Amino acid sequence: TILSSEKSVYLPKNSVDKILMVDVYHEFSFPKEMITSIKSALKPNGELFLIEYRAEDPNVPIKRIHKMSEKQAVKEMNAAGFKLKRNINNLPWQHCMVFVKK
């Protein structure tokens, strides 16, 4: 078990093939620092799976504060050095976006 902090996942560099974040990214107090840490932990061909409730869909029964649009996620991940590989549209209320390092 590795206990992370608000700013770091404390995983060794290039040690992880895939990271799955389900409905948590929008909750980060320090998103830039955390994503930098996650990027460092991912192997060169690693994938970051970001699952967030769809802000674009007013029928998703979740408060707006807990939603994120694909456009916003791509903007923030792009700024952190990731690019969108694909959005797997297989969930009824959430995006399942797969990001890779640029």
**Total-model pTM:** 0.93
Closest C-alpha to 88, from 60, 47, 43: 47
Would you kindly state where each structural domain of the chain is located, as residue ranges?
Answer: 16-101
Is 95 in contact with 74 (CB distance < 8 Å)?
A: no
CA atoms within 13 A on the CB side of 10: 6
For the stretch 42-59, pLDDT in tens is 999 999 999 999 999 999
| 3-state DSSP assignment of residue 42 | strand
Q: What are phi and psi of 52, to 5 degrees?
A: -140, 145
pLDDT of the chain, 102 residues: tens digit per residue: 889 999 999 999 999 999 999 999 999 999 999 999 999 999 999 999 999 999 999 999 999 999 999 999 999 999 999 999 999 989 999 999 999 999
Query: Nearest 5°: CA angle at 68, between 63 and 74?
Result: 175
Domain 16-101 falls in which CATH fold?
Rossmann fold (3.40.50)
